[in-house]
Amino acid sequence: MKAVGARLPRYDGLGHVVGETTFVDDVRVPDGNLWARALRSPSHAARIVRLDTRKAAELPGVHGIVTHEDIPRNVYGHLEALGVPADEPLLAEDEVRYKGQPIAVVAADSEEEAQAAVEAIELELEERDTLFDIRKAFDPDAPKIHPWGNWFPYFGGPDEGPDRRKVRKGDIDKAFSDADTIVQGVYRPAAIEHCPTETQVALVVPEASGRLVIYSCTQAMYFSMGVVAAHLEVPLNKLKFVGGTVGGGFGGKVDTAAETLSGLLALKTDRAVKWRWTREEEFLASSTRAPWHMEIADAVTSDGWILGRKMLTLHDAGAYARFSPYGLTKHAFHHAGAYTIPNIHFDGFVVFTNRVPTTAMRGFGVTSVSFAVETHISRIANTLGLDPYEFRLKNANRVGDTTPNGVTLTDPSTVATIHAVAEAAGDTLAPEYAAMTSEPRSGPLLPDHLVTQQRDGRSAHA
């Protein structure tokens, strides 16, 4: 029997449903472990005037406290390898930029003792003005969130460059001049939680050899190992990540949340340390899906061709960049959706606010634009008095069409998927639309305004 294509049961399914799978919090070490808790910022934005851990360190059961001073490299960026400069400290130094930002971590014999020590840490803050509405980030009197300003300036790489992700294609002015109608709309999906069953958790066991064994719920063991190694300034052979089985991630466990600080506490105390976030921390201090603000203006003809699109996107990164520039670039690459639009003018900004940093979540960068584009497409069809199936089929990606960044499509399925759902729903298409395929355009489906975009396409498969 061939395995590929077969409805085989989940490899690890039985263990999951009978409760036998070992997740990180199930791991036990022979000599037991210390427990970590974090002091988190109670303020959305403040200057740290004073941080004193001396009294907390004297409390019963406390084995060690780590602040930014204990971290070999405190500021490290998730995307440094891609030329995105670092902006986020592992533990806050002079400023806190979001409520819930970690400032210090304690290791103690019990979670209760660790929490008591956290509450005994003396922290004095000087409140600063906050910014939450990304639409006001560009105002002259907006509070300044970040040394970089209120939006990410490095879309040309570490030597700065454009302060936005740009996409330019074709002749946008001609498209808008030739249009019969221009339809504008604004689309704003919300921040949402990843809601994993397993909260962020790590167990770090120091070995006599000096190695750290890190039991991790990361979605990306090598990526997280790289992050820990960078903060600790150690080579990869000093670390062993144990994981591969996760109790729900959805993107929220791409950030390396508990591993590094647990490792620092393990090094400082020479004891195994476990840090498991409470449900409240998971909801309030862990990253969310980003809220987005998208404005679309489409130049269209009365008979249903999309000639051009102008789009502005503001991506709410929260207080630090993390993966946001990556997510926005992916968003920019896919802002035409499953359609072929020959003339494009896109500007996208990664905007900082005093919100918990946003991060990857299922569909990162594209979930937002799929909602915006699809609602906008139906709006245009309704405005023009066209059938929403027909308007989509007419402008659908076809073999030989190009994406906003000039890649020639080789195997699009816009047409096939529309046909499939229409048939299943019992909606009958007009014969000319029912007969459409994804084959290269010709005849009335290759009007002049689509000829140039095909010619300008670049190599598909590298």
Minimum CB–partner distance for residue 90 and other proteins (Å) = 20
> φ and ψ at 242, to 5 degrees?
-120, 125
Q: Closest by alpha carbon to 63, among 275, 274, 277, 268?
A: 268
Looking at residues 22 to 61 of the shown chain, list those that interact with other proteins (rule: CB under 8 A): 44
Question: Residue 68 or 169: which CB sits closer to other proteins?
Answer: 169
> φ and ψ at 299, to 5 degrees?
-95, 115
Question: Residue 24 or 120: which CB sits closer to other proteins?
Answer: 24
Q: Which residue of 23, 223, 234, 268 would you call a contact of other proteins, by CB under 8 A?
A: 223
Q: Does 64 bind other proteins (CB under 8 A)?
A: no
In a 3-state reduction of DSSP, which class is residue 340? Answer: coil
Total residues found in the chain within this entry: 462
User: Which range, of 61-69, 88-96, 115-123, 249-257, touches other proteins by CB under 8 A?
Assistant: 249-257
Q: Which residue of 61, 85, 388, 447 would you call a contact of other proteins, by CB under 8 A?
A: 388
Q: Does 228 bind other proteins (CB under 8 A)?
A: no
Question: Residue 56 or 393: which CB sits closer to other proteins?
Answer: 393
Task: Please state, in angstroms and rounded to a whole number, the distance separating the CA atoms of residues 239 and 156.
Answer: 34
Contact 137, 151 (CB under 8 A): yes
Q: Does 234 bind other proteins (CB under 8 A)?
A: no
Q: Which residue of 122, 362, 440, 451 would you call a contact of other proteins, by CB under 8 A?
A: 362
Q: Closest by alpha carbon to 419, among 401, 400, 438, 403?
A: 438
Question: Residue 60 or 413: which CB sits closer to other proteins?
Answer: 413
Q: Which residue of 375, 428, 437, 451 would you call a contact of other proteins, by CB under 8 A?
A: 375
User: Which range, of 66-74, 85-93, 374-382, 439-447, touches other proteins by CB under 8 A?
Assistant: 374-382
Question: Residue 180 or 303: which CB sits closer to other proteins?
Answer: 180
> Any residues with CB less than 8 A from the CB of 455 and at least 6 apart, and which?
none
Q: What angle do CA 164, 170, 176 make, to 5 degrees?
A: 90
Q: Does 326 bind other proteins (CB under 8 A)?
A: yes
Looking at residues 262 to 321 of the shown chain, list those that interact with other proteins (rule: CB under 8 A): 279-280, 283-284, 288-289, 291, 293, 295, 297, 310-312, 314
In a 3-state reduction of DSSP, which class is residue 89? Answer: strand
Q: Determine the distance from the C-alpha atom of residue 311 to the mean position of all C-alpha atoms in its chain, rounded to a whole number.
A: 20
User: Which range, of 8-16, 52-60, 202-210, 442-450, touches other proteins by CB under 8 A?
Assistant: 8-16
Query: How many angstroms separate the Cα of 293 from the Cα of each of 67, 168, 237, 238, 290?
Result: 36, 20, 44, 43, 10
76-115 footprint of other proteins as x/- string (CB under 8 A): ------x----------------x----------------
Q: Which two tokens stand for residue 48?
A: 């740290």
Q: What is the DSSP string of 393-422?
A: HHHB--TT-B-TT-BBPSS--HHHHHHHHH
User: Which range, of 46-54, 102-110, 202-210, 356-364, touches other proteins by CB under 8 A?
Assistant: 356-364
Looking at residues 393 to 452 of the shown chain, list those that interact with other proteins (rule: CB under 8 A): 396-397, 404-407, 409-414, 416-418, 420-422, 424-425
Question: Residue 107 or 344: which CB sits closer to other proteins?
Answer: 344
User: Which range, of 27-35, 72-80, 376-384, 447-455, touches other proteins by CB under 8 A?
Assistant: 376-384
Question: Residue 60 or 157: which CB sits closer to other proteins?
Answer: 157
Q: Does 352 bind other proteins (CB under 8 A)?
A: no
Q: What is the CA radius of gyration of the chain?
A: 26
Question: Residue 110 or 382: which CB sits closer to other proteins?
Answer: 382
Q: Which residue of 96, 104, 239, 321 would you call a contact of other proteins, by CB under 8 A?
A: 239
Q: Which residue of 14, 29, 192, 451 would you call a contact of other proteins, by CB under 8 A?
A: 192
Q: Does 141 bind other proteins (CB under 8 A)?
A: yes
Looking at residues 151 to 190 of the shown chain, list those that interact with other proteins (rule: CB under 8 A): 155-157, 161-162, 164-169, 173, 176-177, 179-190
Q: What is the DSSP string of 266-323?
A: HHHHTS-EEEE--HHHHHHTS-BPPPEEEEEEEEE-TTS-EEEEEEEEEEEEETS-TT
Task: Please state, in angstroms and rounded to a whole number, the distance separating the CA atoms of residues 341 and 359.
Answer: 29
Helices 259-269, 221-232: inter-axial angle, 10-degree rounding: 50
Q: Closest by alpha carbon to 292, among 367, 354, 376?
A: 367
